[in-house]
Amino acid sequence: MDSSRIRKDIVKEIVVETALDTKTVDAVISHQFALARQAIDKYNSIEISGWGKFVIERYHLSKRIDTQRNHILNMEKRRDELNTEGRVNYYQKLIDAHKILLDKMLIKLENDKLEARS
């Protein structure tokens, strides 16, 4: 079930239970979802009354960065072992693409750290 469907179901349920109009309930739910997203982005966590505190771990991005670095090292090693120019060029293009992806991940991780501090 996608999130927009879940949101619509929440709105519908509240409208039925409270007799409030759909537009008002939808605005409140949208606002609450936006605040929840801001809390997650800023603090890497959210606390929902009656449900508990949920912490979003940035570990996964760090793990992906480590994996990406290992891929690059392995491809560089394979490239250096090759003796045909075509294969060397092919591996160099792969390495360059992976380095671009790694740079983007490092920027994302740094931005996440800066946002967490503010």
In a 3-state reduction of DSSP, which class is residue 47?
A: strand
Average pLDDT over residues 60-87: 88
Which single residue is written with the structure tokens 């800023």? 42
pTM: 0.48
What pairs with residue 88 in β-bridges? Answer: none
When the pLDDT of each residue in the chain is averaged and rounded to a whole number, the result is 85
Task: Check pLDDT > 80 for residue 112.
Answer: no
Residues 53 and 89: their CA atoms lie apart, in Å, by: 50
Q: What is the mean pLDDT of residues 10-18?
A: 92
* Amino acid in position 88: V
Residue ranges covered by each domain of the chain:
3-55, 59-117
